[in-house]
Structure 1
Amino acid sequence: MTTNVVTPANLVQGPADVYAGGFGATEPADSAVATAPGAGWTGVGGTQGGVTAEIDNTYDQLTVDQLVDPVGARLTKRQIQVTLKLAEATLENLNLVLNNLLTMGSGTGYATADLQTTTSATQPTYAALLIDGWAPALATGAAARRRIIVRKVLSQAKVQFSYQMQNNNVYDCTLTAFYVSQSISPIHIVDQTA
């Protein structure tokens, strides 16, 4: 009997840091995977309940009348989504969740946000997400980082302003990735190896 050998260093657990940038923001070099991203990326602060990046592939089967078994399949759809709850209820995070549909203002001692009224023909403002989480440990046993860059996203959110004694207000959102170009993948994943 063959047993499956478990490599404990490959187990991954822990929170991620999330940064937002505009679609097309300059991405940090892959070699900088263990450092915070630079200009063009803003941290969204604390999250609640974790951050989930999901790639959902749909394969449609190829069948023929002469065989009972499918003869193959083709990838016909892919959906990439990031779900998270932003625990820091800032106006900047609200603007991210609403796809930059707020007109932001400020004065001495206050800040404002007004929801823009657009038409269905208005092109949305896409964002980019950078998720810095944990990767399998290095050969030395030291912790390693994994960076996931989702290059073109829009948020689908139902924003609530909830004021309760026992729970903090969070912005609960799902961000869906979109096609970038034939030569640029919608998602880029980098693991630290040294």
Structure 2
Amino acid sequence: MSVTTTNLIMGPATLYQGLFGATEPAETAINSTPQASAWTDMGGTVDGVTLSVDQTYTALEVDQIVDRAGSRLTKRELTIETSLAEATLENLSVVLNGGTAATGTGYKSFEPLFASSATQPAYSALLFDGWGANILRRRVALRKTLSTDAVAMAYTKDKQTVYKTKFSGHYVSAAVAPFHVTEATA
């Protein structure tokens, strides 16, 4: 088998956050920055941005044969994990799925949401732009997400403070896939 070295991918990604249902950039705009009115650049990251697609297939079995007769997809977990290097109050609001920010003369403040757990959460959308094959741009859109893991921000003498977070993708509708990948071509 021959190796196409231009299919080897390495490099950082830029992460953007928008409201659930935000208009995604056109596929023809793959080499352009997403529209600032709909998408907010979340700034620097540490240790990259990782998309994971964990698929669970359940075996179909029959008594008459010893081999697996078939499989059906019964569960899919989509996640984006990153550590946000810019530990701003705005990014804290994103990783905590909302809250109230205030500004005044000489200060900014933030309070997290504290409504009943039965309240519908405020879903968001995430995009990240990175590199694809042939050293061209690749954009991944997760259309309905929530930050679902613990959010940590450590203050230590010899390490940078970051917001370590994990966003989970969710079902959108029967007509809209939960994620989409676009890659530029030469």
Q: TM-score, normalised to structure 2's length?
A: 0.96
1:82 aligned partner:
80
The residue matched to 1:50 in structure 2 has which SS?
strand
Distance 1:187 1:69 in 2: 33
Is 1:152 aligned with 2:144?
Answer: yes
2:16 aligned partner:
19
Contact 2:93/2:112 (<8 A) preserved? no
Distance 1:123 1:44 in 2: 24
Q: Which runs of 4+ in 1 moved over 4 A?
A: none
2:66 aligned partner:
68
Q: CA deviation at 1:66?
A: 1.1
Contact 1:148/1:189 (<8 A) preserved? yes
1:117 aligned partner:
114
Contact 1:97/1:157 (<8 A) preserved? no
Is 1:108 aligned with 2:100?
Answer: no
Q: Which residue, 166, 181, 186 being the options, matches 1:174?
A: 166
Contact 1:126/1:153 (<8 A) preserved? yes
Amino acid at match of 2:70: G
Q: TM-score, normalised to structure 1's length?
A: 0.93
RMSD: 1.0
Deviations 1:20-46 (A, max 9, x none): 001001111000111110021000000
Q: What is the aligned residue count?
A: 185
Unaligned runs of 5+ in 2: none
Percent sequence identity over aligned pairs:
48
1:140 aligned partner:
none
2:181 aligned partner:
189
Distance 2:113 2:16 in 1: 24
Amino acid at match of 1:119: S
Contact 1:24/1:128 (<8 A) preserved? yes
The residue matched to 1:60 in structure 2 has which SS?
strand
Distance 1:191 1:177 in 2: 20
Distance 2:106 2:89 in 1: 15
Contact 1:48/1:84 (<8 A) preserved? yes
Distance 1:17 1:161 in 2: 21
Deviations 1:40-80 (A, max 9, x none): 10000000011100111111111111111111111111111
Q: CA deviation at 1:89?
A: 0.2
Distance 2:80 2:112 in 1: 24
